[in-house]
Chains A and B, each alone.
Chain A
C-alpha cells in the first residue's frame, strides 16, 4: 500500500514545484524522442559514447565471462537437469550421424585438396586478427548484439567476421579501444550470403530475433532444401571468407527454410576475429562509381 506521497493542496510553492517536475520530466522525454529519431536515422551517431561505456565496464564483464566456460546458458543448464536421459540418447544418435558425416567430410577435404592442387590455389588456414571472449549480450533487447573483449588496440576493425570453432558468430559493428560490439547472426539487420555445403544452392541467411535464421533462396523455383542441410558462407560480398559453417536447416518454408545456428553464441567462449576477406573489393564497392578525379 502506497501512502499519498505529496499532496500539494493549497501551497502555491509546492504546486509550482510539482508543475516544474512535470515540465522537466516532459522535456527529458522529448529529448529522448529526439535522440531516438537521430539514432534511428543515423545508428552510428552515438557510437563513441557506447564504446566508451563498454570499454570502462569490459573488465568486469570479462571476469564474469571466464566463469562461463563450461555452462551454456542459464536456462539450458537448468533444462539440462530435466531432460538428461532423453538428451543422452539424442546425443548418441547424433554422434553416430556425425561419425558418418566426418568420414564424408574427410573425403571431401581430400577431393578439395586435389582440386586446389589442380588449380594451384594456396590453401593455408584462415588468418587471425585476435582471439577474444564474448563478454555479454543485449539479452533483454530484441536487437542481438554481443560485447567482445577486444577492440581497436588489438587490431579489431568494423566489419571483421567473428567466428568460433563451430562456425560463424557475427561481425564487428562498433569498436572501442579495448572492447567492441558484435552484430550476431540472429539480429534482424544481419544478412549473410550462404551456400549449401553439399552443392551450390545459394541463399541469404537473415537473422530472426528468436535465435534462428531465415534462409531465402536466390533462385526461386522448386525448393531444393531438405531438413539437415548445412549452410556455409559463400564468400559473396567479400566480407566473410567462403566455407565458414553457418546454420543447419530445421524447417522448410515456401521460399527457403528456417535454420538453426551451428555456432550457438551461448555456448561460445573464445572467439576468433578474422580479417575482412576481400577488403579491397569492399572498399572499391563503397567508393562512388564516378569519383571526382580533382578530389584527390
Chain B
C-alpha cells in the first residue's frame, strides 16, 4: 500500500497508524486562543480611542463557526470572566454578553442548521455590532451620539477582519487536531 501511495496511511493531521489526537491540544487550543485574545489590552498599543476589535469575542465566534459543538454552552461564563479582568469594562459585562452570544448562536444553529460562510459572517457581524453597542451602554459612562462616531470605525474594522480570524482559527484547528499522541 505504501509503495503505491506513501500518503495512504496519513491524513492532514499526520500518521494514522499508532498516533492519535492529544486531548490537551484538542480542548486546550480553542480556550487558550480565546484567553490570549482577551489579553490584547496588554499589547503595547496605547490608544486614545477604542480602535482595536474585540479579539476574544471574534476568536470565540470564529471557533463557533468552524466547530459548532466544540465550546460548551456555558463557556461564556469563564471566558467572559477572564475578559473582564483586562478589558476595562465593568466587571460582569463580558460574562453577560459572552454567555448571551453563545446562547444566541445555539438558537440560530437550531433554526438554520445548514449555512454558508457569508451567512455566518452576517450573523457574526450582527453579534459584534450588538456587542460593541451593548458594551458601550454598559460601560458606566454617559452615552451620547459621540459614541456612534467612536464605535463605527471599530465595528467596520472588526467586520472586515472577521474572515481573517476564521482563517487563523482554521490554522489553529489544524494544530489542534495534529496526531501527536503515541498509542501503545
Q: Which residues of A contact B (CB under 8 A)?
A: 1-7, 21-22, 24-26, 28-29, 31-40, 43, 45-46, 49-50, 53-54, 57-58, 60-61, 64-65, 67-68, 73-75, 134-147, 184, 186-189, 208-211, 261, 264-266, 268
A-B pairs with beta carbons under 8 A, tally: 223
Question: What are some 6 contacts across the A-B interface (CB < 8 A)?
Answer: A28-B77, A46-B91, A144-B48, A189-B141, A210-B48, A261-B48
Contact in complex: A37, B92 (CB < 8 Å): yes
Partner of A36, one of B50, B65, B138: B138
Partner of A28, one of B99, B117, B147: B99
Contact in complex: A136, B46 (CB < 8 Å): yes
Contact in complex: B88, A141 (CB < 8 Å): yes
Instruction: Name B68's closest neighbour in chain A (CB-CB).
Output: A5
Contact in complex: B68, A138 (CB < 8 Å): no
Instruction: Name A260's closest neighbour in chain B (CB-CB).
Output: B48
Contact in complex: B146, A209 (CB < 8 Å): yes
Partner of A140, one of B54, B98, B103, B140: B54
Instruction: Answer whether residue B130 sits at the interface, using C-beta atoms and an 8 A cutoff.
Output: no
Knowing A29-B95, A139-B47, the reply to whether A43 touches B90 (Cβ < 8 A) is: yes
Instruction: Answer whether residue B72 sits at the interface, using C-beta atoms and an 8 A cutoff.
Output: yes
Contact in complex: B73, A21 (CB < 8 Å): yes
Inter-chain contacts of A136 with B (CB < 8 A):
41-46
A207, chain B: closest CB distance, angstroms: 9
Partner of B92, one of A33, A73, A208: A33
Among the stretches B7-15, B26-34, B149-157, B167-175, the one at the interface with A is B149-157
Number of chain B residues whose Cβ lies closer than 8 Å to a Cβ of chain A? 66
Chief secondary structure at chain B's binding surface: helix
Contact in complex: B76, A28 (CB < 8 Å): yes
Inter-chain contacts of B54 with A (CB < 8 A):
140
A40 to B138, CA, bound (A): 8
Instruction: Answer whether residue B164 sits at the interface, using C-beta atoms and an 8 A cutoff.
Output: no
Instruction: Answer whether residue B116 sits at the interface, using C-beta atoms and an 8 A cutoff.
Output: yes
A76, chain B: closest CB distance, angstroms: 10
Contact in complex: A140, B113 (CB < 8 Å): no
Contact in complex: A1, B139 (CB < 8 Å): no
Inter-chain contacts of B40 with A (CB < 8 A):
139-140
Contact in complex: A25, B117 (CB < 8 Å): no
Partner of A2, one of B89, B97, B120: B120
Knowing A2-B114, A28-B76, A64-B42, the reply to whether A142 touches B91 (Cβ < 8 A) is: no
A2 to B69, CA, bound (A): 10
Contact in complex: B147, A33 (CB < 8 Å): no
A180, chain B: closest CB distance, angstroms: 13
Partner of B88, one of A36, A61, A145: A145
Instruction: Name A65's closest neighbour in chain B (CB-CB).
Output: B44
